[in-house]
Amino acid sequence: MNQLLRIYLDESDRSGHKPLYEAIVFKARELGLAGATVLRSPMGFGQTSVLKTTKILNLSTDLPMVIDIVDAPEKLELLVPFLRETLTGGLVVRMEVEVLHRAGEHPAGEAGPA
């Protein structure tokens, strides 16, 4: 079974001189994880209850970010020390997921492109 590692952070979070979400994606790639996707949210709040939004009256320059990474548990575990070292806030969750489709795979019994 695969797992989903979901990382919640803010757009302004940094790792050195680069955005933290970028550093995490580059580290995941370096470790050979299956893939990572960064999502920028139009609205959200965290532990501080400060609302962050793209709505014009409350426009925030520090929007919520989510990074999703799906892989085998042992592969995701390779990223955990880096996250512990670089994250100062945010939230990290891991949950079991069932992969129903993966790019390049074909349903059982069907041949791929010739």
pLDDT-based confidence at residue 9 (cuts at 50, 70, 90): very high
- Mean pLDDT for 53-78 is 87
Asked whether residue 89 is assigned to any structural domain, the reply reads yes
Residue 90 CB neighbours (<10 A): 19
Gap between the Cα atoms of 28 and 82, Å rounded:
10
Q: What is the pTM of this model?
A: 0.84
> For the chain, what is the domain count?
1
pLDDT-based confidence at residue 16 (cuts at 50, 70, 90): very high
Residue 64 sits in a domain of what CATH number?
A: 3.30.70.120
Q: What is the pLDDT of residue 55?
A: 75
| Residues above pLDDT 90, as percent of the chain | 66
Per-residue pLDDT tens for 30-63?
Answer: 999 999 999 999 888 888 888 888 876 666 778 8
CA distances from 13 to 69, 90, 111 (A): 19, 9, 45
Q: What is the pLDDT of residue 46?
A: 84
Gap between the Cα atoms of 10 and 66, Å rounded:
8
Domain that holds residue 14: 2-97
Asked whether residue 77 is assigned to any structural domain, the reply reads yes
Gap between the Cα atoms of 58 and 52, Å rounded:
8
Q: What is the pLDDT of residue 92?
A: 97
